[in-house]
């Protein structure tokens, strides 16, 4: 049994007058509605400090038993990016040419994706996110993590939101299977690749598929 964590007063919570809350909710929604996944990036450099702050924001996500079961590997090295591209394209090649069922390919058709992933070479940052099945506590004990997928998914959502808020574009890339990332990035077996986030500036005049977000009554039920 470990000693209970000491409790401290919460000094950071802030309540707003109701009208201000409504205004803030509208503002945030219109800010986040501008986010679109892009697939064409420039090689323009992005200051590392921005990435660091966004990672800290992501690392503040709630997690099972507060064990923070994630690890972010930030890749700028062109040789490592290229190796990732080569390995990802190998997997995608088989995915698009036989492994994926027709129904899946039909679902992807409007997005215009294929096995070519030049953005993995071009974008200034790739962030590989790993979900950790176990944590190593400060006292050296190795403990099981809980709700690993939910926790890491929330952290990724916060990362994407933070990067968008900072003015960067992202692509949530999920080459499947992704285990080649452990090998290339030297991560242990207890870390499972969760997704690969491509980060940078979109090319001038970038186009995105004309998809619409579902209306509220299609995504939520109020009882
Ligand atoms: N991983 C492939 C296929 C792919 C799958 C889904 I679901 C997408 O939303 C987009 C692509 C690829 O990256 O091309």
Q: Each residue of 82-96: pLDDT tens digit?
A: 999 999 999 999 999
CA of 98 to the centre of ligand 1 (A): 14
CA of 113 to the centre of ligand 1 (A): 7
Judge residue 208's burial from the number of C-beta atoms within 10 Å of its C-beta, 0-12 exposed, 13-18 middle, 19 or more buried.
middle
Q: Rounded to two decimals, what is the model's pTM?
A: 0.96
Mutate to test the pocket of ligand 1, among 174, 180, 211 (most ligand atoms within 8 A of CB): 174
- For range 146-161, the mean pLDDT: 98
d(CA 108, CA 23): 36
Name the closest-CA residue to atom 12, ligand 1. Answer: 175
Predicted confidence band at 2 (pLDDT cuts at 50, 70, 90)? low
CATH number of 43-203: 3.40.50.970, 3.40.50.12780, 3.40.109.10, 1.10.1040.10?
Answer: 3.40.109.10
Residues facing 13 on adjacent strands: none
CB atoms within 10 A of CB 119: 19
Atom of ligand 1 nearest to the CA of 176: 1
The answer to whether the CB of 45 falls within 8 A of the CB of 122 is no
What tokens appear for 77 in the block?
């090295």
Residues facing 73 on adjacent strands: 128
Name the closest-CA residue to atom 1, ligand 1. Answer: 175
CA of 118 to the centre of ligand 1 (A): 14
- For range 111-123, the mean pLDDT: 96
Atom of ligand 1 nearest to the CA of 107: 7
Peptide bond into 177 cis (omega under 30): yes
9-58 pLDDT, tens digit per residue, is: 999 999 999 999 999 999 999 999 999 999 999 999 999 999 999 999 99
d(CA 24, CA 212): 23
d(CA 149, CA 146): 9
Quick one: pLDDT at residue 176? 83
Residues facing 172 on adjacent strands: 197
């Amino acid at each position: 049994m470990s000693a209970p964590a000491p409790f401290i007063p919460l000094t950071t919570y802030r309540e707003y007058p109701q009208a201000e809350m409504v205004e803030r909710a509208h503002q945030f929604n219109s800010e986040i509605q501008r986010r679109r996944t892009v697939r064409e990036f420039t090689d323009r450099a992005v200051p590392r400090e921005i990435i660091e702050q966004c990672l800290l924001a992501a690392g503040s996500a709630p997690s099972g038993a507060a064990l923070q079961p994630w690890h972010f590997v930030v890749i700028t090295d062109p040789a490592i990016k290229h190796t990732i591209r080569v390995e990802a394209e190998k997997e995608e090649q088989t995915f698009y040419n036989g492994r994926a069922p027709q129904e899946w390919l039909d679902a992807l058709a409007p997005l215009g994706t294929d096995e070519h992933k030049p953005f993995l070479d071009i974008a200034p940052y790739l962030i590989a996110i790993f979900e950790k099945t176990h944590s190593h506590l400060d006292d050296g004990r190795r403990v099981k993590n809980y709700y690993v997928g939910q926790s890491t998914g929330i952290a990724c959502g916060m990362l994407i939101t933070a990067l968008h808020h900072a003015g960067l574009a992202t692509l949530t890339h999920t080459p499947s299977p992704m285990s080649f990332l452990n090998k290339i990035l030297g991560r242990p077996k207890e870390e499972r690749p969760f997704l690969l986030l491509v980060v940078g500036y979109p090319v001038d005049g970038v186009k995105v598929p004309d998809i619409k977000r579902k209306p509220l009554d299609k995504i939520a039920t109020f009882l």
